């Protein structure tokens, strides 16, 4: 299976992003803030672009307002919608997923649940519960503190990168994840992580703004990627003016991202 990749970009680069993104990744809170962003996604829907809509937890610290989420799902009918989860809270995330499992969405919208927790047991039981609830696709965030605990390394970014890989590998090894499952990877700590998923047939899609954020800072990937992560989020300076040099650095990183990860 070819893994689909999308890199979130500032407003100025939305149109250009179609040249390097396999699909469009939508942050719903930005739809209410920027009319140009809204129009981009309305046109994307009209022209048949594949859309995955997030719930904006990563950007806001909590999932976006439920009424607005439902409004935009009805308006845009994304191909996938990531149902609200609660950061590192396994039980609350499962409760949310159970509630959303019974919410009627437009035909063709696949609901995606995000595994949360603070231990391997949380991740294993959460994943199984989502499948029992009927979720056809399940996502893993990049930032859980558990990942750093499960893989000891002096560089915290390497530790979290390898911790997510180790957790997913153990779920696969223990037959909790099967070859025929559908998994989405939310973000990354380091861009080279995805090379290690090439033998996992269930990884279907990735979203990460990492190549873009570092390109905006004038940081170009090496042949091995990076060993640190800038903490800026894509929506923090969303309307910034972007220079030709920054665009060149972003495009370089986007190309290197695929090269490094053999995508």
| pLDDT tens digits along 200-222 | 999 999 999 999 999 999 999 99
**Angle, CA 260 vertex, CA 205 and CA 12 arms, to 5°:** 65
Question: What distance in Å separates the CA atoms of residue 94 and residue 115, rounded to the nearest whole number?
Answer: 8
Would you state the pLDDT for residue 192?
Answer: 98
Class of domain 4-260: alpha beta
Q: Which tokens belong to 236?
A: 């923090």
pTM here is 0.97
pLDDT of amino acid 109: 98
Residue 88 pLDDT: 97
Q: How far apart are CA 223 and CA 230, in angstroms?
A: 18
pLDDT value for 21: 98
Domain layout of the chain by residue ranges:
4-260
Chain segment 54-88, per-residue pLDDT in tens: 999 999 999 999 999 999 999 999 999 999 999 99
Both tokens of 8, joined, read 């979130």
Phi, psi dihedrals of residue 34, rounded to the nearest 5°: -135, 115
Q: What is the pLDDT of residue 62?
A: 97
Q: 169-206: buried (b, 16+ CB within 10 Å) or exposed (e) per residue?
A: bebbeeebbeeebbbbbbbbbbbbbbebbeebebbbbb
Q: What is the pLDDT of residue 49?
A: 98
Report CA-CA distances (Å) from 76 to 15, 69, 175: 18, 11, 36
The predicted structure's pLDDT at residue 97: 98
Residue 115's closest CA among 81, 148, 134, 142?
142
Mean pLDDT by 10 residues, the chain (263 residues): 94 98 98 98 98 97 98 98 98 98 97 98 98 98 95 96 98 98 98 96 98 98 97 95 98 98 94
């Amino acid at each position: 299976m070819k893994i689909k990749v999308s890199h979130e970009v500032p407003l100025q680069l939305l149109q250009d992003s179609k040249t390097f993104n396999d699909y469009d990744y939508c942050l719903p809170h930005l739809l209410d803030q920027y009319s140009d962003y809204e129009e981009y996604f309305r046109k994307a829907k009209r022209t048949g672009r594949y859309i995955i809509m997030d719930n904006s937890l990563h950007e806001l610290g909590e999932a976006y307002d439920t009424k607005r989420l439902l409004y935009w799902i009805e308006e845009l009918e994304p191909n996938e919608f990531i149902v609200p989860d609660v950061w590192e809270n396994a039980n609350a995330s499962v409760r949310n997923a159970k509630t959303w499992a019974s919410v009627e969405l437009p035909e063709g919208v696949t609901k995606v649940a995000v595994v949360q927790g603070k231990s391997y047991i949380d991740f294993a039981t959460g994943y199984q519960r989502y499948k029992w609830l009927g979720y056809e696709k399940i996502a893993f965030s990049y930032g859980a503190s558990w990942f750093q605990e499960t893989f000891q390394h002096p560089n915290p970014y390497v530790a979290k990168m390898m911790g997510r890989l180790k957790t997913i590998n153990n779920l696969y090894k223990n037959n909790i994840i099967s070859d025929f499952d559908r998994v989405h990877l939310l973000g990354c700590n380091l861009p080279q992580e995805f090379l290690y998923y090439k033998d996992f047939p269930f990884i279907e899609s990735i979203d990460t703004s990492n190549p873009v954020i570092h390109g905006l800072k004038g940081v170009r990937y090496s042949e091995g990627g990076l060993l640190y992560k800038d903490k800026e989020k894509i929506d923090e300076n969303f309307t910034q003016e972007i220079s030709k040099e920054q665009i060149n650095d972003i495009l370089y990183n986007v190309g290197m991202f695929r090269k490094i990860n053999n995508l």
